[in-house]
Amino acid sequence: MTTDLKAAALRYHAEPQPGKIAITATKPCDTQADLALAYTPGVAEPVRAIAADAEAAYRYTAKGNLVGVITDGTAVLGLGNVGALAGKPVMEGKAVLFKRFANIDVFDIEVNAKNTEDFILTVQAIAPTFGGINLEDIAAPACFEIEQTLRERLDIPVFHDDQHGTAVIVAAGLLNALELQGKSLADARLVCLGAGAAGIASLNLLIELGARRENLMMVDRNGVIHAGRQDLNVYKRAFALHTTSRTLADALRGADALIGVSGPNLVTPDMIRSMAPKPVVFALSNPDPEIRPEAAQAARHDVIVACGRSDYPNQVNNVLGFPFIFRGALDVRARTINGTMLVAAVHALAKLAREPVPPEVLEAYRLSHLEFGPEYIIPKPVDPRLIQVVPAAVARAAIESAVARAPLPKHYTA
């Protein structure tokens, strides 16, 4: 990052007042009568109603549109274990995105936890405040245990965006890219570079969408995850293959697609040249990808490339997922966000990229034309149709999979 950009970023966060979020009252509080309703004695009535029926909290409080964005600061962006407090700017940023894209309110919570169980108990204790929990920037493998345990203990959606948010966008883009290359997910041989939260969740979702486990090869910092390795945790071991491949170069030879969720400059042009005809390369390390898109395209004229940066085509951006997935889940008071709902989000995003692009998107990106093809495999974050399409698909999937506690809102059926 340049000196000028660093200064601008710090100034942006400091002025005209510190931080990026604030609390705004939604009801008048100007007169004695207002005060009597907002607080004592009037507030006693919703208290009594909620004490009698917990579901009344959705009618009389902000719970139903409130998400807790919660971290322990162990895996913040690409900066690593910087601590809970240092993660607060990112959590505030997440709050801004929830509000901007799906009109969801957020309390950001930064937890100093001594261990995994301490973190779980903290989140469990404060969960009644929220309609959903978005876990953020928690290191693997602890993130898997944390999410699974909280899902079992709570009756509201618990969603680790670094896992499932990334997985949904990766899967939507990959389905479209493979189709453009004349390939199917069921038959494609895929290599995932990176065996953390995003990589493991992405492969699990792809399996749910029809990929075959035997066609999936995962590579971590020690090489290919194979059955002979003794250093694998339970989450990696699920992807251990009986194979003679040991290095990333071995893994990519003849592969149809690469999903990179690891670190910068780990993939060489020679590796891209060794892939199968018409390959797909998702180099998602941010801001510096596993291989620059221009380098991959120079190595292969027939490659489709996506990355995590906004200054290249085909940006894989989690903001395409989490605000809209939560919007759909909250609107039907879902008890959880399950695989059926994630698959629905994948298909909604993939289908939207095939539709004509609205003028607002062209204007925002200063383009005269954009259509489904090698440089447009996934919708742009500013697409106004996202809020109409993705939440509705997620909400319907929640109802169909029997995890919804409220009917489909009328505006979804209009």
Catalytic residues: 39, 94
Task: Determine the Cα–Cα distance for residues 198 and 326; give it in Å rounded to an integer.
Answer: 18
Residues with Cβ within 8 Å of residue 97, at least 6 apart in sequence:
319, 322, 323
Q: Identify the CA nearest to 350 among candidates 171, 183, 189, 101.
A: 171
Task: Determine the Cα–Cα distance for residues 30 and 83; give it in Å rounded to an integer.
Answer: 41
What's the half-sphere exposure (Cβ side, CA atoms, 13 Å) at 50? Answer: 14
Task: Determine the Cα–Cα distance for residues 257 and 242; give it in Å rounded to an integer.
Answer: 20
Q: Are 317 and 169 in contact (CB under 8 A)?
A: yes
CA distances from 266 to 188, 261, 269, 305, 306 (A): 22, 11, 10, 15, 16
DSSP sequence for 27-57: S---SHHHHHHHSTTTTHHHHHHHHH-GGGH
Burial of residue 165 (CB within 10 Å: 0-12, 13-18, 19+) is buried
Q: Are 68 and 124 in contact (CB under 8 A)?
A: no
Longest CA span, the chain: 77
User: Could you give the 3-state DSSP secondary structure of residue 236?
Assistant: helix
Q: Are 281 and 258 in contact (CB under 8 A)?
A: yes
Element (H, E) at 258: strand 257-260
Task: Determine the Cα–Cα distance for residues 378 and 390; give it in Å rounded to an integer.
Answer: 13
Q: Are 98 and 323 in contact (CB under 8 A)?
A: yes
